Amino acid sequence: MSPPELQRRCKTCGRKKPITSFHMRGSGRRRVSCKSCNNKRIKDLSTPAKRKRASATQKTWYAANGERQRTKRCQKYASSRALRQKILRQSADYYEKHKEAIGRRNKRHRAKLKADLIAAYGGCCSCCGEKEQDFLTVDHVKGDGKAHRASVTGSSTGVYRDLRDRGYPKEGYTILCFNCNIARSLFGVCPHQRAQHT
């Protein structure tokens, strides 16, 4: 005689159903709502208005419980070496599988960061008026660009992100083309400025 099929109660409809009536999560556990209720929930989110309501509900819940959830995940991650290895392996596998798409996305993100920064600081070289974005870069007026990069991520992208997060402070920063920037770095003054004073 075969053993009876395992059952569990759906938390949405309250009915007892066979365990196979519940979708499997990626973690290997079954969902708390049965397939019928889960499918109905997904169908209910098919309109923009319903998705907006659901998003508002999620944001409210996360505002109230987000810190507790983050602490719980961090504690679980810190206490389990096997979990850390699993997550690192999954991350490496995902990156290898989607390397080109990730590269394209990061390139678009960096380009937008730079375009927003250039627009915030006037849109052109403050010395010669060059407007081609590929020729432009942020200039640290006090000459502390190296220290600034080291204090963020060590890259120009980190500098762009830091300035954006601080609301693009005007004091101490300007936009220069690479010619004017390197000339100022090597000679202390750009030839354009020197020509104006002669």
Higher pLDDT, residue 191 or 98: 98
pLDDT at position 74: 87
pLDDT of residue 154: 79
| Model pLDDT, residue 2 | 46
User: Could you tell me which residue, 136 or 194, shows the higher pLDDT?
Assistant: 136
Inter-residue contact 133 to 121 (CB < 8 Å):
no
Q: How far apart are CA 119 and CA 135, in angstroms?
A: 14
How high is the pLDDT of residue 198?
A: 59
| % of the chain surpassing 90 pLDDT | 46
Q: Which of 137, 119, 142, 149 is nearest to 176 (CA)?
A: 137
Find the mean pLDDT for residues 84-99. 92
Cβ(3)–Cβ(11) under 8 Å? no
pLDDT of residue 168: 93
- Beta partners for 139? 174
CA pair distance 171, 78, nearest whole angstrom: 42
User: For residue range 152-183, what is the model confidence (pLDDT) as tens digits?
Assistant: 887 888 999 999 999 999 899 999 999 998 98
pLDDT score at 45: 75
pLDDT of residue 193: 79
Confidence of residue 196 (pLDDT cuts 50, 70, 90): low
Kindly report, residue by residue over 104-122, the tens digit of the pLDDT: 999 999 999 999 999 999 9
* pLDDT tens digit sequence for 37-57: 988 888 877 778 777 888 888
